[in-house]
Chain A
């Protein structure tokens, strides 16, 4: 459904993503794993056209990504990006103005579940509240692909459960989710497929249950194998 071929991005002399080819299929949840700086964020940003590749390209349903793909792909960045003057309500209005698949009702539901109110100012939110707000506004879209960059960063345990539920609710046979994280064990149970990025390369793509069945290993074990540590020190 979403595919990139030999995609490469350089920042000056530094290569952020190096000849990566990847296919995202509907009905699956993907974990994009790797330490900070391994190229996860850049790869995701290229999928929505925020970052233009130096070589290769992203395709959605066989077409190069563009305006049409952005209507169906919901991206959530790690960093907060709302205008400083906005309240949670303004943010919902903005999404309603620009995304046909956005549901104000679902947004209000999600805000309530995350214990956020509509009058909260984007400027004054703590990082945990901001993370919840970003998830709420992203998951209130009825998108075909959700790309979530580090959605569990800086979030307390209870809110993590809320976020994981709202993510799982979005899954259906024609929807794909990609969740990037360096908190491997958080994603262990909920993903179909793990994508491992290392030093701007794609090193391995493997099915989570297959790894457990065939190798008797967890995704965390796999992560240790690839990176030499479990990602703990990066938390």
Chain B
């Protein structure tokens, strides 16, 4: 399984490195902007900050898309023999792919969360000076006390819920790709039909998420949503693996 994951990582390595490079450029722009302290610097800072946000959103989105592209290639080109000649069953092949992708999405999320937290701290420290920063922190503390209890956890939970939701969408994409390569193989409009099925699955999945009961504790709420996403991922994983094992001809 680890070996399969190693090669899954290798397949998607290039786009991840590109993402890292672009993020690096945006990060440098942001830091230069922070230290320049001129109008020009402010522009560079804004450019860097927007760049980083874009990298985070588009990057995490693309990590999922890239996995779907590579899965499509793994089923529909001769390259499929690489996977399906090995003494591994469809569950292992698919499992390695989903695990690698899930971990990549999660780690990319952690990476950007840490990066943004560090950048924000640096920005506040250097632009405002240490004293202002402590004041700001104080004010923040007061506002937190009075208003909502906004802890880092509470910022992060929705973020990770979004990541889990994205993984669920990617896995429903995997299921649609397998359906197009098996049940609808050789039929007209198999791509279109599969896309419609993907939309349907995703619609059902969102209904399932909506069905998660509303609780007063936001934390528990998000844990439940993330849990529901994972259950959907697992269910779709088994359905997809089952179809592959029985029907898939590459």
Contact = CB atoms under 8 A, between A and B. Distances in A.
In-complex A–B contact (CB below 8 Å): yes
Interface of A: 11-12, 45, 48-52, 66-68, 70-71, 75, 77, 79-83, 85, 94, 97-99
B110 to A, nearest CB: 27
20 contacts: A45-B249, A49-B84, A50-B81, A50-B84, A50-B85, A51-B249, A52-B247, A52-B248, A66-B89, A70-B87, A79-B78, A80-B78, A81-B79, A81-B81, A81-B82, A82-B82, A83-B82, A94-B7, A97-B3, A99-B87
Nearest to A13: B186
Contacts of A99: 86-87
Contacts of B6: 97
Contacts of B131: none
A48 B79 CA distance: 15
Majority secondary structure of chain A interface residues (helix, strand, loop or mixed): loop
A67 B82 contact: no
Contacts of A71: 87
A68 B87 contact: yes
Contact of B89 (A67, A82, A94): A67
B249 A52 contact: yes
Interface of B: 3, 6-7, 10-11, 78-82, 84-89, 186, 246-250
B186 A12 contact: yes
B79 A83 contact: yes
Contacts of A67: 87-89
A97 B89 CA distance: 16
Contacts of A70: 85-87
Contacts of A85: 10
Contacts of A94: 7, 82
A50 B86 CA distance: 10
A98 B3 contact: yes
Given A83-B11, A83-B82, 7 more contacts: A71-B87, A81-B79, A81-B80, A81-B81, A83-B7, A85-B10, A99-B86
A106 B247 CA distance: 36
Given A79-B78, A81-B82, A11 B186 contact: yes
B84 A52 contact: no
A36 to B, nearest CB: 17
Nearest to A42: B249
Contacts of B11: 83
A205 B250 CA distance: 28
B234 to A, nearest CB: 22
Contacts of A77: 78, 81
A12 B86 CA distance: 27
A192 B56 CA distance: 63
B87 A98 contact: yes
Contacts of B7: 83, 94
A50 B88 contact: no
A50 B249 contact: yes
B240 to A, nearest CB: 15
Contacts of B246: 52
Nearest to B11: A83
Nearest to B182: A52
Would you list the 5 A-B pairs with minimal beta carbon distance, nearest first?
A81-B81, A98-B86, A81-B78, A51-B249, A70-B87
B238 to A, nearest CB: 18
Nearest to A67: B87
A97 B96 CA distance: 15
A192 to B, nearest CB: 26
Contacts of B84: 49-50
B158 to A, nearest CB: 37
A70 B87 CA distance: 5
Contacts of B85: 48, 50, 70, 75
Contacts of A48: 85
